[in-house]
Amino acid sequence: MVAELKYRRILLKLSGEALGAQGNSIDAETVRRIASEVKRVHNLGVEIAMVVGGGNMWRGAYAAATGIDRATADYVGMLATVMNSLVLQDAMEKLGMVTRVQTAIEMPPVAEPFIRRRAERHLEKGRVVILAAGSGNPFFTTDTAAALRAVELNAQVLLKATKVDGIYDDDPVHNPYAHKFEELSYMRALNMGLKVMDSTALSLCKDNKMPIIVFNMQQEGALEAIMRGAKCGTLVSEVDKELA
């Protein structure tokens, strides 16, 4: 079945809000549904690395605006991503997947430290690798951490799961006339200031020719459809076909 797939190794980026709204922390049923979607792809033989945010519990930038030291606020946010990662690990292992959590900040009783070659070996053995604590550095988002890990682990694509079905020129929730982009270049996304990913993450993907697909994780089967080559969401790459 693997021969039918477009992608064989992916980096899936989940926002913390995908697991539960801020203030509600984690919704167990939502976590189980996400784990089920990942399992559908894992069963196809796809090698899966994941990065999850912590915005459902803590946002460093917002906390810093209240007067907390920014570096301190960001470290707290990294710990939030570890909590989310452990919850995801539990849900996926209950569905029969073998997983490993690796953290950018060492905490041996909880998870392995991130070691690139060890992570690659886990992927080769069919284990889902959940990469926590961002990049381990303050002032960098988990989007940037996802871009960095995707490049380090030689993923074929970075998949950013959101609550909308792609990238729009305006908020489609509030503007019914917002235009959806089917394909978009890195430079156009950067120049337009589209809030798909921060500029550091986009630039890192651009410099390393790492394609990005922004899609709706809430749409059942969307992740599997992308693996099989279906056009879901918005592809960000070197070529902007809308301008070609």
Taking all residues of the chain, what is their mean pLDDT, rounded to a whole number? 91
Give the pLDDT confidence of 111-135 residue by residue, as tens digits: 999 999 999 999 999 999 999 999 9
pLDDT in tens, 142-192: 999 999 999 999 999 999 998 888 999 888 888 888 999 999 999 999 998
Range of the domain at 230: 2-237
Question: Number of H helices and number of E strands within the chain?
Answer: 8, 11
Q: Specify the pLDDT at position 21.
A: 58
Q: How far apart are the first and last CA of the chain?
A: 34
Q: Does some domain include residue 243? A: no
Dist. CA 56–CA 43, nearest whole Å:
29
Chain centre distance of CA 192: 22
Query: Is the residue at 46 inside a domain?
Result: yes
Share of the chain above pLDDT 90, in %: 73
* Number of domains the chain is built from: 1
pLDDT digits over 70-127, tens only? 999 999 999 999 999 999 999 999 999 999 999 999 999 999 999 999 999 999 999 9
Annotated binding residues for ATP, written as ranges, equal: 13-16, 55, 59, 162, 168, 171
Known binding-site positions? 13-16, 54-55, 59, 74, 135-142, 162, 168, 171
Residues annotated within the binding site for UMP are 54, 74, 135-142
What's the angle, vertex CA 105, arms to CA 104 and CA 111, rounded to 5?
85
242 within domain boundaries: no
For position 189, which CATH number holds?
A: 3.40.1160.10
Cα-only R_g, the chain: 17
